[in-house]
Amino acid sequence: MDELEFRRRVLSNPQDKDPEILEMRRASASNDKYVQELEQLDELLDETFRVDVPDDLADKIIFKQSSEVERENRRPKFYMSIAASIAFVFGIVIGQFNWSQQSLNEATIAKVTEKPIDSLGQMALKHYYGEVPFTGATNERATLERVNLKLSPFGQQFKGGLPGKITYVNHCAFGELGPGLHVDIQTDEGKKMTFFIVRTQGAETESFSDEKMNVVMKQADKNRLIVIGEKGAHVEQVAEKLKHNLFSI
């Protein structure tokens, strides 16, 4: 089993106990840590998903649908909100491999902490370099609606589009900060960039770099927008456009 197949399988099922999976974990400390982060994410999501709904919800929805006039004139907002919530949950189920029947909750996504710029910048680059071999050549031709579906648990949405074509989007385990959103885009200038959204706080704008990549971090309400691009690319401008189009919901 190669590294790509290992990651594909544990992303699909972090609880996979296949002997080949276990052997890959024993052979590599980084592989084992990666699976542990996914298992932690599974537990976190499982704890926050359990939401009680009224026992008579189905009957009330059916009753509401029985009369077109009733629906147009009365519109009980409470039950419509619950129905919309159920539809949202099914959307998450479709997009999340075996992370189904789980949701993120603001109170337990991650402890909101302020981190030194070097620490967060280095963490972002380390995460980027770990992901790019598996996502860099991918082109899912994803839509803004799909990005917003996966972004909703973080309490935000993009309005007005993104500054480029969306080639990859999915949730990720962002180290000790917990769940994050990973999005790859190809800008209008043809540059590939990656941005993450994680639940943490910092200064309004910060930057970090290594010999190849620049990192720009901006605060967006309770989340941190982290944009990574090659040196020479307009990372700051892209980060500003992303923040300008990012709204709390």
pLDDT at 61: 62
Calpha distance 147→192 (Å, rounded) = 17
pLDDT 10s digits, 141-153: 999 999 999 999 9
Q: Taking 80 as the threshold, does the pLDDT of residue 184 lie above it?
A: yes
Which of these ranges, 76-90, 122-136, 173-187, 211-225, has the smallest mean pLDDT?
76-90
Cβ atoms 227, 205 nearer than 8 A: no
pLDDT at 215: 94
Sheet with 179-187, side-by-side order of all strands: 164-173, 179-187, 192-198, 223-230, 213-220, 205-209
Phi first, then psi: give them for residue 196, nearest 5 degrees.
-120, 150
Q: What is the mean pLDDT of the chain?
A: 76
Domains of the chain: 3-49 (no CATH), 57-95 (no CATH), 117-248 (3.30.200.100)
Give the mean model confidence (pLDDT) for residues 87-106.
45
Burial 111-120 (b: 16+ CB within 10 A, else e): eeeeeeeeeb
Higher-pLDDT residue of 219 and 111 is: 219
